[in-house]
Structure 1
Amino acid sequence: MNWDCLIVDDEVELAKATCEYFEMFGMTCTYVTTFGGCIDVISENAVKLILLDINLGNDSGFKLCKELRKKTDVPILFISARQSDDDVLIALNIGGDDYIKKPYSLSVLLAKVKVILKRYETIKNDGDNREKVTINDKNEIRCGNLRIDIDAMKVYVNEKDAGFKTKEFKLLQYLYENRNRVIAKDELFINIWGDSFFSDGTLNVHIRKIREKIETNPNQPTYIKTIWGTGYMFETPES
């Protein structure tokens, strides 16, 4: 079975109501209430997006997210009544794409999910004309000690694989292709996440992780500069 959305939440009535609402608007959706149930669905079906609660009875959504990231790069949106910034940062740091606090509006949640699904379907080959450098019959970008392999979606620092996750790669690629230009946060939200209502925390965590992987000193970045109050800019070494 191909599912647009899998909801993993031990609040059965909320999960069921969300699922039924999504189906009213043409989405295929199913829900499970346990860690094991999620693994079973992922193993036997194609899923485009996961809505994941943190509290799953005796199990943890954080633990499940880590396990899922070993198997899939599909968008994972945490949905939780837990409000602390620490929970948000943990969720984003372990591979979550966004954090939605309960109680949520079904209409807003559906809009967010639809935009993310549309973006993910077109992100790799979006038909843009931004500059790419072809080397050895491969689409690659070289900048300083960085090599960005577009086709493989990998980043190498001094020819060593930096271990980029999908979202980190897309963000770095976009920053480079718009290098030496200040890019507002909203532009990054729209072009990388597909909409403009993600939190600053989402972007900040991803930028920090990228810097940790490509910068000699992440606290004094050479490539990705923060433009306070506005956004970020990728500076090439020759600029």
Structure 2
Amino acid sequence: MSKRKVLIVEDDQAIAELERDYLEVHGYEVTLRSDGKEALGEALEKEYDLIILDVMLPGMDGFDILRRIRETKYIPVLMVSARKEDIDKIRGLGLGADDYVTKPFSPSELVARVRAHLERYDRLTGAAAGAGSSPVRKSRELNIHGLVIQVDARRVTLHGKELSLTAKEFDLLLFLAENPDRVYSKDALLDKVWGIEHFGDSATVTVHVGKIRDKIQKDPSKHQFIETVWGAGYRFKI
């Protein structure tokens, strides 16, 4: 079986080489890039299984790179930054990052996050060759008040208009829609949808719910699909 390919975008050479060494020891094929514009070209033109993306980079910052990547690709992206401000984490997650790691962190933790995100991506897409995995709940379609979720195709339309959702936004929307009229706390959703609750942060759920709402319930006079139950969590209304 071929090695999984990881692109590390990091301008601190010592950190980049440490990350590369730990990932290579665990069987990953790693490419290093330090310049933002060069890294963007690499990410768009070549095929990688996962990208580790620093925020502060010469040439182009990580947020702009992530925005461009998400226009065409939905592979896992882990953002890394020395900046601990919540606004940076919320911005990264809002742009479609699958994880946000604050420096300093242990290389073994990074390897664990990489493994967890790749395993989840494989389960959702059936990408693991020979593993017998398949897309989640194949050949199913949900239709709620004009919101159509095509499970096997991973497409969402609202009153006939196709919506652009990131992989995690789709996963969260699907889970809530398949479990209507039940209240789930942020921690429960982190566990059920991300499956890596010991790495996660409840802000991840808040950001993704907000992004989904922006796309499916802009008009307050129309059906409001995701309700906030104050002090408890979120509920999908049918």
Matched, 1:158 2:178: no
- Is the 2:3–2:28 contact (alpha carbons within 8 Å) kept by the matching residues of 1? no
Residue segments in structure 2 that go unaligned for 5+ positions in a row: 127-132
Residue segments in structure 1 that go unaligned for 5+ positions in a row: 133-137
Matched, 1:77 2:51: no
Cα distance between partner residues in 1 of 2:136 and 2:71: 33
- Is the 2:9–2:34 contact (alpha carbons within 8 Å) kept by the matching residues of 1? yes
Q: Which letter maps to 1:87?
A: D
SS in 2 for 1:41: helix
Cα distance between partner residues in 2 of 1:86 and 1:156: 30
| Aligned-residue offset at 1:83 | 1.7
Percentage of pairs with the same residue = 35
Give TM-score, length-normalised by structure 1.
0.85
- Is the 2:124–2:136 contact (alpha carbons within 8 Å) kept by the matching residues of 1? no
CA root-mean-square deviation = 2.6
What is the aligned partner in structure 2 of residue 135 from structure 1? none
What is the aligned partner in structure 2 of residue 225 from structure 1? 227
What is the aligned partner in structure 2 of residue 198 from structure 1? 200
Cα distance between partner residues in 1 of 2:23 and 2:68: 26
Quick one: structure 1 residues 183 and 127, their matched pair in 2 at CA, closer, same or farther if it must change by over 3 Å? Answer: farther
Q: How does 1:97-116 map to 2 (within 5 A)?
A: 97-116=98-117
Matched, 1:52 2:46: no
Matched, 1:146 2:131: no
Cα distance between partner residues in 2 of 1:75 and 1:93: 14
Cα distance between partner residues in 1 of 2:46 and 2:214: 35
Cα distance between partner residues in 1 of 2:61 and 2:233: 34
| Aligned-residue offset at 1:102 | 0.8
Matched, 1:29 2:30: yes
Cα distance between partner residues in 1 of 2:168 and 2:183: 20
| Aligned-residue offset at 1:231 | 2.8
SS in 2 for 1:46: coil
Cα distance between partner residues in 2 of 1:220 and 1:83: 38
SS in 1 for 2:190: helix
Match of 1:207 among 209, 227, 237: 209
| Aligned-residue offset at 1:69 | 1.3
Runs of 4+ that moved beyond 6 A: 126-130, 218-221
Q: Which letter maps to 1:25?
A: H
Give TM-score, length-normalised by structure 2.
0.85
Range with greater deviation from structure 2 (17-26 or 30-39): 30-39
